Amino acid sequence: MGENIAKNFDPKQTLNEIEDKFQMFQILNEDGVIVNEEANPNLSDEELVELMTRMVYTRILDQRSISLNRQGRLGFYAPTAGQEASQLASHYALEKEDWILPGYRDVPQIVWHGLPLWKAFLFSRGHFVGNQMPEGLNVLPPQIIIGAQYVQAAGVALGLKKRGAKNVAITYTGDGGSSQGDFYEGINFAGAFKAPAIFIVQNNQFAISTPREVQTSAKTIAQKGIAAGIASVLVDGMDPLAVYVATKDARDRAINGEGPSLIETMCYRYGPHTMSGDDPTRYRTSDIDNEWAAKDPIVRFRKYLEGKGLWSEQKETEVIELAKEEIKAAIKQADETPKQKVTDLISNMYEELPRNLEEQFKIYVEKESR
Amino acid sequence: MAQMTMIQAITDALRCELKDDENVLIFGEDVGVNGGVFRATEGLQKEFGVERVFDTPLAESGIGGLAIGLSLTGYRPVPEIQFFGFVFEVMDSISGQLARYRYRTGNTFNMPVTIRSPFGGGVHTPEMHSDSLEGLMAQQPGLKVVIPSTPYDAKGLLISSIRDNDPVIFLEHLKLYRSVREEVPEESYTIPLGKADVKREGTDLSIFAYGLMVHESLKAAEELEKEGYSVEVVDLRTVQPLDIETIIASVEKTNRAIVVQEAQKQAGIAANVVAEITERAILSLEAPVLRVAAPDTIYPFPQAENIWLPNYKDILETAKKVLTF
């Protein structure tokens, strides 16, 4: 009897068949060579240069942010080096009116969407002005509760669908975040409502010290999309062209009413988890660091663009200098922002202050006038 | 005017708001074609369409996230949590997210969300259906917490809650859904949030209560009247923020007070009322302010509700302690 059952019913085989289908999507290899010409997005020269410019700029932003953090001139900071393709090429596929629901490591995306750099620095320091979004900028402040951005993205996407907008909600989490309940609820809700959402999992191999293998026995995180019945893909997250194409494709399908997508970008963070005392040498070997250093998205994209005569050392130096200048100016502007007062914090709680806060407001106005 | 139960008054308020504001959306588990497990949304999907009143997957946290996302795109969500005991699944979406959005974005984004949810004992529900958890909500800055005890209050308070541009938790007592009937205007009207209501005037003792305990307090007040005591019953109606003016004015008149809640003594919001009174009116007090509350155990197994839940007899007993202190 057991044999008969096994003939018609082999759950393990089903799993293996499904997992085998999730092959890594890549366009540009580590040497900067196009290995999948068919999928090449054929971005214009200007677009290619713009994407490279943003990636280089963001690498510098990371280096400067780490240094400013060490000097005590920035507060909370989650390093981004290594994830430029994953973060910026996915963002590059978006339109201005699209909504971004970032995680705590996803500051670069909202900066390139339009958040002034000095405000991003105020977010790091812990000042409410950093989270005051300019009028019409469809981004939320970086989300600290891992997974919360996913359920909220389903809601934003449903709202866009109801409004008849040809726009999407995009959100990001990490490999560890894919273990959260809200991760699953978010993709499942968006799927059930056929809402225009793009869910990106930046699988940077570690959730603080916990390697990705400890999160799940699933071979890929992309395959988790199957549980929600949504389109899913595993992408080389160190390849800007592949990330761009996967996101653009997900966006096109979303605005055509075909529902959400889950994109796993296989990438790496070269730095620590955050600058709040994490020491990656406790859990990462130099072997794995070296392995991923060889896959650096900037190195491979540089090679590709140099091959096309679109990039040079001089051009890169110009971008680096510009970044350093703008970062300096942004820090200065952050420094010049007036200090927060308790009355500011009270004023931002409700449209109309309830009685208890009205009373406390008066007490603090008096204290602040002393 | 029409005679309405509380559940009818709630449906009526929802209908008024769906009609008045095209951004109002009602959603939750079984609130659509089914009309809600208590018929609170009966007929609304039929009248306003599936775009305005719709069912969701069975996941409270997702429902909370949906409300947040819909607010960001300009809607006025009125989600339902089927029973408030299930709030633990959505604590982050409510306390960690909804309540904080205006503040965390420095007034850039706000959450005009009203979460409706039934709670309350006395109807032998299974586990985690009847727990009084308003105390958890009342401790979260950024929320308002409303608990009506009559059909008239329920309609006016719900309309105000929906129109409020900040999140409101609107808790509906299961035992009150159909046990009280009264005249309710058919047109729209509002009752300000944060305003208590003196349900019975008196001069010897103030009873502060909310939810089902308002009715138990009124019953106790009648008994006390037979013994010659004049008792004032104040229905808090909003448990956060408290209507300090009405509370203090009552205490200053009667000089004696008790606070009555259905929640366990270590929960609810009674301790907060006592603290406010002692901070603001201690010189008016002839006796300590005592509390009537449930024992500090987990909510009882259904068959033990009648020995566990506070009722008018407990109120009488505590009232007399204070009156004869």
pLDDT, residue A303, reads: 98
Percent of all residues in chain A with a pLDDT value above 90, rounded to a whole number? 95
CATH number for position A26: 3.40.50.970
Asked whether the beta carbons of residue B69 and residue A154 sit closer than 8 angstroms, the reply is: yes
Residue A328 lies in a domain: yes
Record the tokens describing residue A69, joined without a space: 């953090």
**Domain extent for A361:** 340-370
pLDDT in tens, chain B (325 residues): 899 999 999 999 999 999 999 999 999 999 999 999 999 999 999 999 999 999 999 999 999 999 999 999 999 999 999 999 999 999 999 999 999 999 999 999 999 999 999 999 999 999 999 999 999 999 999 999 999 999 999 999 999 999 999 999 999 999 999 999 999 999 999 999 999 999 999 999 999 999 999 999 999 999 999 999 999 999 999 999 999 999 999 999 999 999 999 999 999 999 999 999 999 999 999 999 999 999 999 999 999 999 999 999 999 999 999 999 9
Q: What angle do CA B241, B245, B251 make, to 5 degrees?
A: 115
How distant, in Å, are the alpha carbons of A135, A199, A360, B101, B102 from that of A348?
17, 30, 13, 9, 6
Specify whether A273 is catalytic: yes
Residue A357 domain-assigned?
Answer: yes
User: Considering only residues 136 to 195 of chain A, which have any Cβ-Cβ distance to chain B shorter than 8 Å?
Assistant: 140-141, 145, 148, 150-160, 162-163, 169, 181-182, 185-186, 188-189, 192
Query: What pLDDT shows up at residue A49?
Result: 98
pLDDT at residue A4 is higher than 90? no
Residue B140 in contact with residue B171, Cβ under 8 Å?
A: no
Tens digits of per-residue pLDDT, B164-193? 999 999 999 999 999 999 999 999 999 999
Q: Above 70 in pLDDT, residue A3?
A: no
Decide: helix, strand or coil at residue B28. Answer: strand
Q: Across chain B, what does the average pLDDT equal? A: 98
The ipTM is 0.97
pLDDT bracket for residue A8 (50, 70, 90): confident
Cβ neighbors of A335 (< 8 A, separation 6 or more) are none
Same structural domain, A333 and A349: no
Task: Report whether CATH 3.40.50.970 matches the domain B2-184.
Answer: yes
pLDDT tens-place string over residues B240-276: 999 999 999 999 999 999 999 999 999 999 999 999 9
Q: How many helices (H) and strands (E) does chain B have?
A: 12, 14
Report whether A90 contacts A112 (CB < 8 A): no
Same domain, A140 and A69: yes
Are A359 and A253 found together in one domain? no
- Which one, of A43, A160, A62, A178, lies nearest residue A111 by Cα? A62
Tell whether A363 and A225 lie within a shared domain: no
Looking at the structure, tell me whether residues A176 and A198 fall in a common domain: yes
Residue among A368, A305, A308 nearest A338 (CA): A368
- Whether A256 and A361 map to the same domain: the answer is no
Question: What's the rounded Cα separation, in Å, for the pair B180 and B35?
Answer: 21
Tell whether A85 and A140 lie within a shared domain. Answer: yes
pTM listed for this prediction: 0.97
pLDDT tops 70 at residue A6: no
* A9 band by pLDDT with thresholds 50, 70 and 90: confident
Strands (E), chain A: 99-101, 169-174, 197-203, 206-207, 210-211, 231-236, 261-266
Contact between chains at B61 and A150 (C-beta distance less than 8 A): no
Give pLDDT, residue B1.
86
User: Nearest Cβ partner of B141 from A132, A157, A349?
Assistant: A349
Tens digits of per-residue pLDDT, A287-308?
Answer: 999 999 999 999 999 999 999 9
Nearest-neighbour CA in chain B from A184: distance (Å): 9
Tell me: do A228 and A133 sit in the same domain: yes
Domain count, chain A: 2
| Distance from the B14 Cα atom to the nearest Cα atom in chain A, whole angstroms | 20
pLDDT-based confidence at residue A5 (cuts at 50, 70, 90): low
- What is the reported pLDDT for B116? 98
Same fold, B2-184 and B197-324: yes
A186-201 residue pLDDT tens: 999 999 999 999 999 9
Cβ(B172)–Cβ(B29) under 8 Å? no
Query: Which DSSP string corresponds to A199-224?
Result: EEEEE-SEETTEEHHHH-S-S-SGGG
What angle is formed at CA A264 by the lines to CA A263 and CA A269, rounded to 5 degrees?
Answer: 135
Nearest CB to A354; choose among B51, B69, B241: B241
Are B240 and B168 within 8 A, CB to CB? no
Q: Residue A1: is its pLDDT beyond 60?
A: no
Query: What is the spatial distance between Cα B183 and Cα B132, in angstroms, rounded to a whole number?
Result: 28
Check whether domain B197-324 has CATH 3.40.50.920, yes or no: yes
A262 and A354 in a single domain? The answer is no
The candidate with the shortest Cα–Cα distance to B63, out of B50, B47, B78, is B78
Using the beta-carbon criterion (under 8 Å), do A182 and B61 form an inter-chain contact?
A: yes
Which pLDDT belongs to residue A136? 96
Q: For B30-41, what is each residue's pLDDT tens digit?
A: 999 999 999 999
Q: How far apart are the first and last CA of chain B?
A: 45
Residue A2 domain-assigned? no
